């Protein structure tokens, strides 16, 4: 048979290694760009969640002076969202905000959902929802507080207390208790008895049930010159 008449199809040529290498490098560059963008977005979300760049960068375990509040520091360091609840109380400027934010920071880094309810802001959001008759938005906001892996309630007891705030707090605490959802951190200038007097005994009892004796942590008084944030 004449080889010149063969109809055998030509074999595909081998892939050009330069083309393959260039494509791989382009794909790696795209993946790296997407990774950086995702990391920057998450950083911005963390800064917003934790109340600003100062809290995000400075309120960490590494930057807290343990000797100033060793019991509180150890309680915060041992905090686990699945089984821990804490009530931090003491005067202003002793580190309550610092340690509660450090707990939230670590949970955020562990890909947990974190929500802050700072009482003055909490009251203002509820008021705006009511004023605009936006009850669905109010319900969604309360639900976020209920479902967060870590919920930080800061400055409990600050300012006046309305029935609307009492109702929302009761709903959040009661649902988290009934759902056996831990991960609650509360900061206050007042002992729990004062919270009971201000918000009502039902709320203070819920906090006591959730935190237990070991979760009630008093920060020691310190001169203002030695105090830290919170």
pLDDT at 148: 97
51-226 in CATH: which number? 3.40.50.300
- DSSP states of 167-214: HHHHHHHHHHHHTT---EEEEESS-HHHHHHHH-HHHHHHHHHHHTGG
What is the value of pTM for the model shown? Answer: 0.82
pLDDT of 12 higher than 90: no
Give residue 38's pLDDT: 75
In the predicted structure, residue 1 carries a pLDDT above the cut 90: no
Q: In this predicted model, which residue has the larger pLDDT, 197 or 17?
A: 197
pLDDT category of residue 95 using cuts at 50, 70 and 90: very high
What is the Cα–Cα distance from 150 to 112, expressed in whole angstroms? 7
Which pLDDT score, from 0 to 100, does residue 194 have?
A: 96
Question: What per-residue confidence (pLDDT) applies to 224?
Answer: 45
Q: How far apart are CA 64 and CA 45, in angstroms?
A: 23
**Residues of the chain above pLDDT 90, percent:** 70
Tell me the pLDDT tens digit for each residue of 134-182: 999 999 999 999 999 999 999 999 999 999 999 999 999 999 999 999 9
**How far is C-alpha 197 from the chain's CA centre?**
28
Task: Return the sign of the alpha-carbon dihedral for residues 184, 186, 191, 196.
Answer: negative
pLDDT for res 225:
44
The model's pLDDT over 13-46, given as tens digits with 9 standing for 90+, comes to 456 666 667 777 888 878 888 778 777 887 888 8
Span 196-212, average pLDDT: 94
pLDDT tens track for 48-72 = 888 889 888 999 999 999 999 999 9
Report percent pLDDT > 70 for the chain.
88
Q: Token pair 């900061």 is at which residue? A: 187
pLDDT of residue 139: 96
Band of the pLDDT at 8, cuts 50, 70, 90? low
């Amino acid at each position: 048979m004449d080889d010149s008449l063969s109809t055998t199809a030509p074999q595909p040529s081998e892939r050009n290694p330069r083309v393959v290498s260039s494509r791989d490098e382009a794909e790696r560059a795209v993946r790296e760009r997407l990774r950086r963008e995702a990391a920057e977005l998450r950083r911005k979300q963390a800064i917003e969640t934790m109340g600003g760049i100062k809290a995000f960068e400075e309120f960490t375990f590494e930057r807290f002076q343990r000797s100033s509040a060793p019991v509180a520091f150890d309680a915060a360091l041992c905090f686990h969202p699945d089984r821990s609840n804490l009530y931090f109380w003491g005067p202003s400027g002793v580190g309550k905000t610092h340690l509660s934010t450090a707990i939230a920071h670590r949970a955020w880094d562990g890909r947990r959902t974190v929500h802050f309810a700072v009482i003055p802001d909490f009251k203002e959001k509820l008021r705006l929802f009511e004023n605009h008759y936006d009850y669905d938005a109010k319900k969604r906001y309360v639900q976020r507080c209920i479902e967060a892996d870590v919920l930080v309630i800061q400055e409990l007891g600050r300012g006046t207390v309305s029935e609307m705030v009492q109702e929302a707090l009761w709903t959040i605490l009661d649902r988290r208790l009934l759902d056996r959802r831990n991960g609650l951190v509360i900061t206050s200038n007042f002992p729990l008895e004062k919270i009971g007097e201000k918000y009502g005994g039902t709320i203070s009892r819920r906090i006591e049930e959730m935190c237990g004796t070991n979760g009630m942590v008093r920060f020691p008084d310190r001169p203002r010159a030695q105090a830290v944030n919170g």
